[in-house]
Structure 1
């Protein structure tokens, strides 16, 4: 198709007339937003081809949309600051590459506006799938992916609008609490002195871990202390402050501590490092997270490990069967946790002394 008047620049009205499309549809294709408005790929291809034939200056964003396989696989996650999220990212990259995909991993620092912006960008680049990890409310992100026909899987924190894969937070926390209670009793300490510190109130993972903590007490027909649970986020500085308050009131560390993340556990290590060595030995410590440095600390710590390999494998399995038009509840896959090596790893046991 040649221009009817070589001296005149083509407009979106010319493209609309040539393709039998509305000017709105042409505009959406040319500015790269066609997918979120459910414009068919065939229509978008026809508009782009017509724009090129008419000599219209298609912007790079629209030109990059080939509407076929992009070869890209996306993942967003809060940060890389602990082994769990770093492990998710690394394992995701390995699995994506094994499928011939180029992985794109972006940290969003738990900022909802950044989560939306990054998701919009990845969807506009036609990622073939998107894993959304550690997002408190993934619903708007799931909706964007669904509108564009992009398979979307929630990882670590579930959502009702897409399939999800999470750790067995409740079962893992109960198992960890049981171990800590047994250790406290073996030392002659009352289990009512066990404290759960860290996490975000009303967040799925934290609430499930608190439920598991309470399940362990209920199973033994005992009650935790009224102030046994304290949620202050996951950061080390808040953990230090919470421990300082309790230490000032009691004159010692709590007899038992279950730290609800490796970053909160780092706050404990920072605080305890200022205390006399015997103070370190005065408490039983557990952490719902894992890092090998725990084996080198001057006090005993029992760590609960999440199975990163299994989580990512299950997420890809869900992506393979993803159906944006499916009705009914989306699947929720719960992956067991454990104290030992996961998925064939040969690391030493997680429980360290």
Structure 2
């Protein structure tokens, strides 16, 4: 590894002069700075950020802790955050928890040990006490999910209203037997989405048995396939489905395609998220569009302000973005009250 000593020997100057030139010290002439930077570039020198931080320099790395990078919502958020932060001279470091609180703690320990400037986190359902302590020592904000122990800096979606509108759309078309697939109520997003589904049924005057919910891991495509099989094989198979996560939506669409279920003739479907392929899946998937770019930009601006301006008072801050119902061809009035024929 090339060091400042190697650069000094090549140029015939002192190591301290090299260090000051690389730090843009005003005591060093512009000519010397140019020579040092040119030599550093030619020799492949990479500065030791850890050493600079020990001398009081601040980190330019922000940690992003998410459950699952395979979920396009999170991968798109990561991309947008990275671009926004790069423009301000910051770098995004990605950590994936798979919704495991022990893995979450391990990543937070590493981020803290590397003295990141801040953390943006989609928390697990029950963060460890140590995770809470580590985050309290860092500028941080919560994304999508909100856990009360982690403070009140939060950017999220109005999950309740998004699911209420999606369910009301199906009810307005005449559906009285509806299924919902979503995450567990231990997750704040799971609880809000389920409540939105249930409230829409109550507002329409439908009995509790009009809706049946299957709750499980929201990042599991396979769970989506298994859950929709159970719903359609049940004694009161629904004529319409509302889905509460991107990965569950993918699993349901795979299963329906494999089983040859006709959408919307036999089953109406409202998905979650608006993947690039959703617009041309079958008749086009009616789905809940998510304000990804708006959320990513808001998160980045809040974090950049926090890190660059260092405000003395970090009061509570909440940003709730609305989802949007994108209506395509996968929803229609129930066909004579029939449900998918899976006897064959």
Q: Could you say whether these structures have the same fold, taking a TM-score greater than 0.5 normalized by the shorter chain as the test? A: yes
* Alignment deviations for residues 163-195 of structure 1 (CA, whole Å, 9 cap, x no partner): 111111011111111112223x2xxxxx33111
Confirm whether residue 223 of structure 1 aligns to residue 207 of structure 2.
Answer: yes
Per-residue deviation, 1:145: 2.8
Q: Pick which of 203-212 and 214-223 moved more.
A: 214-223
Structure 1 counterpart of 2:289, from 293, 301, 305: 305
Q: Which residue of 2 aligns with 1:158?
A: 146
Distance 1:259 1:118, change over 3 A: same
Query: What CA distance in whole angstroms lies between the structure 1 residues aligned with 2:171 and 2:248?
Result: 20
Confirm whether residue 254 of structure 1 aligns to residue 238 of structure 2.
Answer: yes
Distance 1:327 1:70, change over 3 A: closer
Query: What CA distance in whole angstroms lies between the structure 2 residues aligned with 1:300 and 1:223?
Result: 30
Distance 1:64 1:270, change over 3 A: same
Query: What CA distance in whole angstroms lies between the structure 2 residues aligned with 1:63 and 1:255?
Result: 63
Query: What CA distance in whole angstroms lies between the structure 2 residues aligned with 1:276 and 1:122?
Result: 47
Query: What CA distance in whole angstroms lies between the structure 2 residues aligned with 1:105 and 1:79?
Result: 11
Contact 1:194 1:224 in 2 (8 A): no
Distance 1:98 1:118, change over 3 A: same
Query: What CA distance in whole angstroms lies between the structure 2 residues aligned with 1:174 and 1:279?
Result: 21
Query: What CA distance in whole angstroms lies between the structure 2 residues aligned with 1:316 and 1:306?
Result: 17
Confirm whether residue 176 of structure 1 aligns to residue 154 of structure 2.
Answer: no
Give unpaired runs (5+ residues) of structure 1: 1-59, 186-190, 340-349
Structure 1 counterpart of 2:318, from 332, 335, 346: 332
Q: Which residue of 1 aligns with 2:105?
A: 116
Structure 2 counterpart SS, 1:292 = coil
Structure 2 counterpart of 1:351, from 305, 324, 327: 327
Per-residue deviation, 1:104: 1.0
Distance 1:140 1:226, change over 3 A: farther
Contact 2:279 2:328 in 1 (8 A): yes
> Aligned runs of 1:153-302 on 2, under 5 Å?
153-160=141-148, 161-162=150-151, 163-183=153-173, 185=174, 191-225=175-209, 228-234=212-218, 235-250=220-235, 254-276=238-260, 278=262, 281-302=265-286
Per-residue deviation, 1:198: 2.3
* Alignment deviations for residues 235-272 of structure 1 (CA, whole Å, 9 cap, x no partner): 12222222222333349x62000011121112212221
RMSD: 2.7
Query: What CA distance in whole angstroms lies between the structure 2 residues aligned with 1:98 and 1:301?
Result: 35
Per-residue deviation, 1:64: 6.0
State the TM-score, normalized to the length of structure 2. Answer: 0.71
Aligned residues: 274
Give unpaired runs (5+ residues) of structure 2: 1-47, 330-344
Per-residue deviation, 1:318: 3.6
Contact 2:198 2:211 in 1 (8 A): no
Query: What CA distance in whole angstroms lies between the structure 2 residues aligned with 1:278 and 1:70?
Result: 54
State the TM-score, normalized to the length of structure 1. Answer: 0.70
Contact 2:177 2:210 in 1 (8 A): no
Runs of 4+ in 1 over 4 A off after TM superposition: 321-328
